[in-house]
Chains A and B, each alone.
Chain A
């Protein structure tokens, strides 16, 4: 609500605009550099960006981020990895799901600073140059999407669902995929895709 950096005027390329807005927003903030809070000597000045190294899809990425930046915004706005989608931005829809370590999480409620030192895997990190990940292929084979907006989150969540051992039955898949909302309601095909990919993924 008060997040000025996320204002979204329409009518021209939103992504390019946001990249520009995010960059320029740092200038006045940095210019206010100054007093350190004496009571909390380890805390940084909230007006200053913080240097952080995120490990994303096997590569270290050095960034200078406002402390408020979530992993989702760091990926999309700073690293140009726009596969992870911003749906609700409140942890309710699952479109932003990524893996941190081997756990699926919602990147919109994860602060980038708190994810430092951990392995982040996004939808962009799944395929090799000539081959889709088995879960990606299964989503294609089973027509497991319509508009596709929720799909990156569905796929990341589905991979974890299988690895957690929660893809044994249709009921289990539905229950453990319930954190990923699909407003096109491609659910039956998503269940089919997860079932198809599960044996391949479990084989490693």
Chain B
């Protein structure tokens, strides 16, 4: 690991100031010379691999007092960015009113990592692309812009089939982000000019021609909270993976339904493990809305969700798998007792 300076931020202003000061000389944000440290489960790992090389670490854990509340009390659910994954997953009201959130967190990583990792850090975790994580591969457009992509014609079984570009096919690895994007969450950002909010769906950027730029975060800007409107007791997170536990998704689906008198009034579908960014399947949602549920409808919705999918040598199975995951998640959501 390369040397870095370490400092603790005891107030949001201090964190923003320290991060933006160091960021003034940055190229792209995710290669920033200063990085906030929350749970550290991605950052320290990637620093040991020499993938991330910050010269300054700003420990924002002291901000947890103000930034880790779990508040389902009002019309909206508010989740502080420094809340731990394990605490949110274990929260009874989250389990009752937002099972898709609770289960997306519970099915991620291990008990130890969920105790460490925060919600904000979780949505910012980097891809598990093995070529991105191994610096002995020169050609990674995410690490070295313009250098090419070793995954395109490499071992790409784990890679994305949706949202790809000819520059990058790295999969967004998280689970929780799919729940957020499905539920129309808002992300609250704290930066040099105060606090701003935006749809969570705008946080991540598809790779396009600049796979090194992964989010719209500005230098020094931190995620301070997530806000989820409404309640979604009829919601499911289904995750298919190579092992039953402690593994990233090959394909996952976050599904939330509002069913009244047998008719689907509202439907939310998001996909994980198959796309370069947290992926909302609006075509599937449009097919479901206003319909009576049956297995045929679930299959048509699943087909719609993957209509634009493009597989490569080793990952085309994800298209068939992904459709089945969507259909099964819809079936589970329809039949769950709430």
Instruction: Check B6–A50 contact: CB distance below 8 A.
Output: yes
A70 to B6, CA, bound (A): 13
| Cβ-based interface call for B5 (8 A) | yes
Chain B interface mostly: mixed
Instruction: Check B111–A40 contact: CB distance below 8 A.
Output: no
| Cβ-based interface call for A105 (8 A) | yes
- Give, as a whole number of angstroms, the nearest-CB distance from B13 to chain A: 12
| Cβ-based interface call for B59 (8 A) | yes
A70 to B57, CA, bound (A): 14
Instruction: Check A91–B1 contact: CB distance below 8 A.
Output: no
Residues of A within 8 Å of B135, CB to CB, are 1
A90-B48, A106-B116, A114-B61 known; A39-B22 Cβ under 8 A: yes
| Cβ-based interface call for B216 (8 A) | no
A67-B57, A91-B45, A114-B59 known; A97-B6 Cβ under 8 A: no
Residues of B within 8 Å of A157, CB to CB, are 111-112
Interface string of B77-119 (1 = CB under 8 A from A): 0000000001000100000000000000000011111011000
Give the residue of A3, A42, A109 whose beta carbon is less than 8 angstroms from that of B40.
Answer: A109
- Give, as a whole number of angstroms, the nearest-CB distance from B32 to chain A: 13
Instruction: Check A110–B116 contact: CB distance below 8 A.
Output: yes
- Give, as a whole number of angstroms, the nearest-CB distance from B41 to chain A: 5
Residues of A within 8 Å of B50, CB to CB, are 1-2
CB proximity to B under 8 Å, residues A90-145 = 90-91, 94, 97, 103-106, 109-111, 113-114
Interface string of A39-55 (1 = CB under 8 A from B): 11011111100100000
Instruction: Check B246–A178 contact: CB distance below 8 A.
Output: yes
| Cβ-based interface call for A62 (8 A) | no
Residues of A within 8 Å of B61, CB to CB, are 114
Give the residue of B6, B55, B86 whose beta carbon is less than 8 angstroms from that of A111.
Answer: B6
- Give, as a whole number of angstroms, the nearest-CB distance from B94 to chain A: 16
A177 to B4, CA, bound (A): 34
- Give, as a whole number of angstroms, the nearest-CB distance from B237 to chain A: 15
A67-B4, A103-B115, A161-B111 known; A109-B246 Cβ under 8 A: no
A40 to B18, CA, bound (A): 6
Cβ-closest chain B residue relative to A36: B5
CB proximity to A under 8 Å, residues B17-57 = 18, 21-22, 24, 34, 37, 40-41, 44-45, 48-50, 55-57
| Cβ-based interface call for B245 (8 A) | yes
- Give, as a whole number of angstroms, the nearest-CB distance from A91 to chain B: 6
A111 to B61, CA, bound (A): 12
A203 to B50, CA, bound (A): 46
A42 to B17, CA, bound (A): 11
Interface string of A160-190 (1 = CB under 8 A from B): 1100101000000011111110000000000
Residues of A within 8 Å of B4, CB to CB, are 46, 67-68
Give the one of A90, A91, A161, A177 with max B CB within 10 A.
Answer: A91
Instruction: Check A110–B57 contact: CB distance below 8 A.
Output: no
Residues of B within 8 Å of A89, CB to CB, are 48
Give the residue of B5, B24, B41, B109 whose beta carbon is less than 8 angstroms from that of A43.
Answer: B5
Cβ-closest chain B residue relative to A156: B112
- Give, as a whole number of angstroms, the nearest-CB distance from A148 to chain B: 20
| Cβ-based interface call for B147 (8 A) | no
| Cβ-based interface call for A37 (8 A) | yes
- Give, as a whole number of angstroms, the nearest-CB distance from A121 to chain B: 14
Residues of B within 8 Å of A91, CB to CB, are 41, 44-45, 112-113
CB proximity to A under 8 Å, residues B141-180 = none
- Give, as a whole number of angstroms, the nearest-CB distance from A28 to chain B: 12
A94-B110, A176-B111 known; A111-B44 Cβ under 8 A: yes
A160 to B111, CA, bound (A): 9
A46 to B3, CA, bound (A): 6
Residues of B within 8 Å of A70, CB to CB, are 44
Residues of B within 8 Å of A111, CB to CB, are 6, 37, 40, 44, 57, 59
A113 to B86, CA, bound (A): 23
Instruction: Check A104–B112 contact: CB distance below 8 A.
Output: yes
A177 to B61, CA, bound (A): 26
Give the residue of B44, B55, B86, B116 whose beta carbon is less than 8 angstroms from that of A46.
Answer: B55
Contact residues of B with A, CB < 8 Å? 1-8, 14, 18, 21-22, 24, 34, 37, 40-41, 44-45, 48-50, 55-57, 59, 61, 86, 90, 109-113, 115-116, 135, 244-246
Query: Which 7 interchain pairs have the tightest Cβ spacing?
Result: A179-B110, A43-B5, A178-B245, A46-B3, A39-B21, A178-B246, A43-B7
Can you report 5 A-B residue pairs in the complex whose CB atoms are below 8 A from each other? Answer: A44-B7, A94-B110, A103-B115, A103-B116, A114-B40
Contact residues of A with B, CB < 8 Å? 1-3, 37, 39-40, 42-47, 50, 66-68, 70, 89-91, 94, 97, 103-106, 109-111, 113-114, 157, 160-161, 164, 166, 174-180
Given contacts A2-B2, A89-B48, 10 further A-B contacts (CB under 8 A): A3-B48, A37-B56, A40-B21, A40-B56, A42-B8, A46-B55, A94-B110, A104-B115, A111-B6, A174-B245
